[in-house]
Structure 1
Amino acid sequence: MTSPTLVAVAHGSRDPRSAATVRALVDVVRSRAPGLDVRPAFLDFDEPGFGEVLAGLDRPAVVVPLLLGSAYHARVDIPAVIEESGAPDVRIADVLGPDPALLDVAAERLAALGLAPGDPGLGLVLAGTGSSHQAANAVVHRLAQRWPRTVAAFATASPGVADAVVELRAGGARRVAVASWFLAPGRLLDRVHEHAGGTPVAEALGAHPAIADVVLARYHAAAALLPAAA
């Protein structure tokens, strides 16, 4: 039986670094699942567009949102494009976050700065995009609680990164750093750097093999629910 296509859909960005990271991640997914039809797609700004990819499907598909939270894009945009396309036998997988493997990758990015959660005197900010959907923000707050002396902050929501840095220093942290809860570099992560005011900021999660494995896990869980897999 032919496996369903994996459509890895990202939001897209005006910053070319973002799409490059998504395509690199898709390449890693392909390398870890030889023979699987894996296609990148973007909701906005970049090509190929999500609707275009759906229109080109010739078999059932699983859409894996390359998103760290279940906010507007996951809950509204992606289902709307699928419905508008009329593509049959398409299943939406869960978003990537809050899989613990992603938090481990965030710790690896911190390690590149010579830092680790729990280091003596170190306060950490786990910085994400932020959403008007408070349940999505709450996930980042819960993840931050897994690390000692760590608070969540957001590029587009409250609390902001600058306020979180001030809070940690006021609480006695001798050093402060920012861990990135962003899949790819781009304008929002650049905003985090700006708001951090010189505080070290770790790189985005990027095209890491552990993230590719989460993509595949999401795919297989959703593919099992397709009628063709019954």
Structure 2
Amino acid sequence: MTPPSGSPGPDGTADMDSTADFGSAQRLMTQFTAQLTIQLDRLGHSGRPGSRPGSRHDVRRGGRDRPPTLVAVAHGSRDPEALRTVTALLDRVRALRPGLPVRLGHIELNQPLLTDTLAALRGEAVLVPLLLSRGYHTKQDIPDAVAAAPHLTARIAAPLGPDPLLAEALHARLAEAGHRAGVPHGAGVAAPCGTGVAGVAAPHRAGVVLAAAGSRDPDAAVDVARTAALLSARLGGVPVLPGYASGSGPTVPEAVRALAALGHDRIAVASYFTAPGRFATQCAHAAPRIAAAPLGAHPAVARLILRRYEQTLAFAPLSPPAATVGV
């Protein structure tokens, strides 16, 4: 218990000055808390007991409790597993944020199409592209779809990539496929007992090809290169080279050969795709040993979708016309 003002402290001396300082600090903290509460209320974060981001008390606009709808925008694929994977991913998003309305729209090939999803909505929406880099779809197709739905108040989030959460998911998929980083170059490993081999065995040198869809947009290549750097760091410095299924090279086989020419003999292909499809299958077939599964419904991807949604709402209030919010 704190001694009263003027009573001896632990060292036997009076503590009047420290008590006064404590009272001043308390008053400052009370004022700071009050000001912070006012600011949070203005942002719609009430701080009520039990409230959390995405709950019905989180985003209040125009006097309504319902938060803006999260519209996940997938590319679409003829592979039936793609739709199942995206559906599972969005189920994970809903589990993370109960009460948040989540809808799906495809750019092409699958139902529901994005234009149909937007036509059925009313009020406010945040579109989160399930795409991994900037390109034509994020710069043209999605804004065009929003422009064709003038009844909505909407914002468009940045694509999912690059982001450390994607490096986390890619790392996990590689590990699931059996990829190990191996021994650093030059370290060597002891020869197994009984082999009759003296000295050290030649070390394995790991390398990874980050297989991506590809695009003619130079921004896409920049984004993929940044993800390759994030994954390399996540793997402890293992080299990661981008390889593409389309657009300007290098292709995945070319990236594999480049790593092999540098002496890497344990090469894996990381599948930088949200869901299975033609490109993901094509890239997996080019793997010399290990091909990881696409990102799919990994928990880190679900968290990233919600991060993009929240970043977009925090960047600017919802108001027409729709605009892409960079992150």
- Preserved CA contact (<8 Å) 2:124 2:154: yes
Matched, 1:170 2:234: no
Higher relative contact order (CA 8 A, sep 6+): 1
Distance 1:194 1:107 in 2: 20
Deviation at 1:118, TM superposition (A): 6.4
1:93-108 equivalences under 5 Å are 93-108=157-172
Distance 1:136 1:118, change over 3 A: farther
Identity of aligned residues (%): 43
Structure 1 unaligned segments of length 5 or more: list them.
none
- Preserved CA contact (<8 Å) 2:77 2:110: yes
Deviation at 1:87, TM superposition (A): 3.1
TM-score, normalising length from structure 1? 0.94
1:65-214 equivalences under 5 Å are 65-117=129-181, 120=184, 121-146=205-230, 147=232, 148-157=238-247, 158-196=249-287, 198-214=288-304
Distance 1:125 1:49 in 2: 32
Distance 2:144 2:183 in 1: 45
CA distances 1:78-112 after superposition (whole Å, capped 9, x unpaired): 00011012233111011111011111110000101
Count matched residues.
Answer: 227
Distance 1:144 1:2 in 2: 38
TM-score, normalising length from structure 2? 0.67
Structure 2 unaligned segments of length 5 or more: list them.
1-64, 185-204, 233-237, 320-327
* Paired letter, 1:18: A
Deviation at 1:119, TM superposition (A): 5.1
RMSD over equivalenced CA pairs, Å: 1.5
Deviation at 1:59, TM superposition (A): 1.9
Distance 1:51 1:39 in 2: 12
Distance 1:182 1:119, change over 3 A: farther
Matched, 1:15 2:79: yes
Distance 2:317 2:183 in 1: 46
The structure with more radius of gyration: 2
Distance 2:183 2:140 in 1: 40
